[in-house]
Amino acid sequence: MKSTKALTGIVAAVIIIGVLFFQFINHSGPFQNGGSKSASGPSETEKVHVDRVVDGDTLIGSNNKEQNIKIRLIGIDTPETVKPNTPVQPYGKEASDYSKKELSNKDVYLEYDKEAEDQYGRKLAYVWLDKKTMFNEILVRKGLAREKYFAPNGKYRTDFEKAEEEAKNDKLNIWS
C-alpha cells in the first residue's frame, strides 16, 4: 500500500513538472530575460515567419495575429534592387540573394527600437536569428550593407560602425 502511494506521488510530481516545463517553453520566448537587455542579445522580441524577402533589407512576414507584415531592417542600407526609377546598384543582387537564402521561409525574432514604424507603415526592426546572431549586423560585416543611422533608432549603431570598418578593411563586396 505504501509503495502504491509513493509511486502515485512520484507520477503526479513528474506530470506536474512536465506540464510546468511545457508551459514555460511555450510562453516565454527564446529571448525573454526579465525585460532587461543582456549583453548577449535582445531583451524583448516578436517572433515572425519570413514569407518573402523583397530585397536585402526589406522583408514580408507573418505571425499568429497578422499577415503581410512589412519589415525594414534598422541601422543599415543595402544597395537597391527594386526601387522604382532606380537602376540595380552594385552588390544589390548579392545582398538580396543572401537575404533570400538566409531568411526565406524561416522564423526570425524582431527587436524594435525607439521608433517602431516608418512613414511607409513598415515595422523597423533588428532581425535576430537566435539570441546572439543579428542579421542586420551580418549584412554589414559581409560588406553587403552600409551602416545607416536614422534617428532616433540607434541602439546598435556602434556595432554596425565597427562591422562596416572591418568590411572596409577587408575590402568585402561593396567595399572591394
Q: Which amino acid belongs to residue 95?
A: A
| Contact call for residues 154 and 75 (beta carbons, < 8 A) | yes
Beta bridge mates, 109: 47, 128
d(CA 5, CA 9): 6
161's grid cell: 560602425
Dist CA 59 CA 176 (whole Å): 26
CA dist., res. 147 & res. 23, Å (int): 40
Active site residues: 72, 80, 122
12 — phi, psi (to 5°)? -60, -40
The whole-angstrom distance between residue 76's C-alpha and the CA centroid of its chain comes to 13
Other Cβ atoms within 10 Å of 114 Cβ, number: 11
Q: Cα–Cα distances in Å, from 122 out to 4, 74, 166?
A: 61, 11, 29
